[in-house]
Amino acid sequence: MRSKKINLGIILSASLLFPLAVTAAQTPGIYVGGAWGAYSIHESNLKEHDNVLKAYVGGQFNSWFGVEASWTDFNRLNNGNDRFEADGKGLAALLSFPVGTASSVFVKGGQFWWNSDSSLGSSLGAKKGHDPFWGVGFKYGFNEHLAFRLEAERYDVVNTNLKTLMAGLEFKF
């Protein structure tokens, strides 16, 4: 009997709060941010994880659509004959799904223009190129100006798949 009352209380609370969370919208505006995390590479004899840094600036046009420009730096990895180092600039469209007034779940996709100094499997990689990239993430808004972001992205650089997991802060003007 007691567990039925607790379950009923949870269901009633969730049903009252859910419409508020879904109908709330993020405010449009310009934002800047930075993130730090890790990336993984599994190519040739290089199966490693290392640091990745990212800085970004974006514009949120309404509660569900935005555009973001970024600079991403993949830390240098060296494993004897194999080495990998890359950085680049990205431009992506973001589709956001608001969760409350300042938080959201988002997906993004765009183009990444990279520079690389790599030698994988005894062959030198291309120095410059561009490839599509995509990602998913969650943004927890402390208020309408400051948010914590957790995101995962996938890049192709020098015909190599890179997977990232990053955490960072975002400030909206």
Model pLDDT for residues 71-90, shown as the tens digit of each residue: 999 988 777 777 778 899 99
Domain map (residue ranges) of the chain? 26-172
What integer pLDDT is reported at residue 141 of this predicted model?
93
Q: What is the DSSP letter of 28?
A: P
Distance CA(32)–CA(58), nearest Å, equals: 6
Q: At 24, is the pLDDT very low, low, confident or very high (cuts 50, 70, 90)?
A: very low
Predicted TM-score (pTM) of the model is 0.78
More confident residue, 87 or 158: 87
Confirm if 21 and 151 have CB atoms less than 8 A apart.
no
More confident residue, 11 or 70: 70
Q: At 172, is the pLDDT very low, low, confident or very high (cuts 50, 70, 90)?
A: very high
Confirm if 88 and 75 have CB atoms less than 8 A apart.
no
Q: Which fold has domain 26-172?
A: Porin (2.40.160)
CA-based nearest residue to 101, from 53, 147, 150, 70 = 147
